[in-house]
């Protein structure tokens, strides 16, 4: 829930990021405690560890020539697991190509994932993943689909449903990103745009592909409530979580 107090405290325009722990994993506030049970924390860590292990296996297979082009997820697991924990059965998942943990949380099997990156068409069947679009490789093109699905869900009167759409930092320099945010904002579509900033758009560093002070301010331009989040302890990955006000 992006309440107004949180949005005011961590204003992207002032380049303020939401952060609860430092780079060594120590809480920044002695009074802070996760609003999760020990069981939920254990489950989250287990899922995170599983994603990293599967990711390292896939990278190894790719290096051995046993798997084709594979985009590593190393360092981006935290946002996948966090978003996956709140994604419900009726929600839509609109992925890019680097959201392994989110796919697993939605119900995609590891077998299907490995088949997909080995070039087998059965890898996109997603037999147990309800309401998930196929992996999208063209940068940011899937965000248009997410905005359209959000509009359709609202038009059909579906309640308590959201669309989780992922993209990288480079995708925010594509026209599709801006069209999707504008459309979702104008039509109050229940879309959550998650931008994973790993500092490089293929081979172009962040500073060379945008002059924005951070990624989250791009949502402010469309009056989309936006938040800059320090989503990783070991790598400087910043995330944008944004959705139209009417869905908060």
Give pLDDT tens digits for 131-146. Answer: 999 999 999 999 999 9
Tell me the H-state helices in 156-221. 175-186, 206-209, 217-220
Distance CA 189, CA 145 (A): 12
Quote the pLDDT of residue 232: 61
Quote the pLDDT of residue 49: 93
Q: E-strand spans in the chain?
A: 92-94, 163-168, 191-197, 200-201, 204-205, 226-230, 238-242
CA 248 to chain centre: 18
Q: Poorest-confidence range of 9-18, 51-60, 154-163, 224-233?
A: 224-233
- Retrieve residue 229's tokens: 């989040």
Which residues, 6 or more positions from 66, have their beta carbon under 8 angstroms from its beta carbon? 118
Q: Which of 66, 221, 99, 107 is nearest to 168 (CA)?
A: 99
Upper half-sphere CA count for residue 221 (Cβ side, 13 Å): 15
Quote the pLDDT of residue 33: 78
Domains and CATH numbers, the chain: 4-18+35-247 (3.40.50.970)
Distance CA 248, CA 246 (A): 6
Distance CA 227, CA 207 (A): 20
Distance CA 204, CA 128 (A): 36
Helix (H, G, I), strand (E, B) or coil at 197: strand
Q: Summarize pLDDT for 32-75 with one digit per residue, the tens.
A: 777 889 899 899 999 999 999 999 999 999 999 999 889 999 98
Task: Give the pLDDT band of residue 2 (cuts 50, 70, 90).
Answer: low
Q: Is the pLDDT of residue 247 over 80?
A: no
CA 29 to chain centre: 26
Q: Which residue has the tokens 């059909």?
A: 156
Query: Is the separation of the CB atoms in 248 and 227 below 8 Å?
Result: no
CB atoms within 10 A of CB 247: 18
Query: Is the separation of the CB atoms in 214 and 228 below 8 Å?
Result: yes
């Amino acid at each position: 829930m992006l309440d107004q107090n949180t949005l005011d405290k961590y204003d992207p325009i002032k380049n303020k990021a939401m952060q609860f722990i430092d780079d060594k994993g120590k809480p920044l506030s002695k009074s802070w405690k996760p609003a999760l049970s020990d069981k939920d924390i254990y489950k989250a860590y287990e899922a995170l560890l599983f994603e990293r292990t599967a990711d390292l296996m896939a990278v190894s297979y790719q290096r051995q020539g046993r798997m084709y082009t594979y985009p590593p997820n190393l360092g981006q697991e935290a946002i996948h697991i966090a978003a996956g924990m709140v994604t419900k059965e009726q929600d839509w998942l609109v992925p890019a190509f680097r959201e392994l943990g989110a796919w697993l949380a939605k119900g995609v099997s590891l077998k299907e994932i490995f088949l997909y990156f080995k070039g087998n068409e059965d890898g996109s069947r997603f037999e147990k993943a309800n309401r998930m679009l196929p992996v999208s490789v063209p940068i940011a093109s899937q965000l248009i689909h997410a905005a359209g699905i959000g509009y359709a869900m609202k038009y059909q009167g579906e309640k308590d449903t959201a669309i989780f759409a992922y993209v990288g930092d480079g995708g925010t320099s594509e026209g599709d990103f801006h069209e999707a945010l504008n459309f979702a904002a104008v039509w109050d579509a229940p879309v959550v745009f998650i931008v994973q900033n790993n500092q490089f758009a293929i081979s172009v560093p962040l500073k060379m592909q945008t002059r924005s002070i951070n990624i989250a301010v791009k949502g402010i331009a469309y009056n989309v409530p936006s938040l800059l989040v320090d989503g990783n302890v070991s790598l400087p990955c910043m995330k944008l979580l944004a959705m139209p006000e009417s869905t908060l």
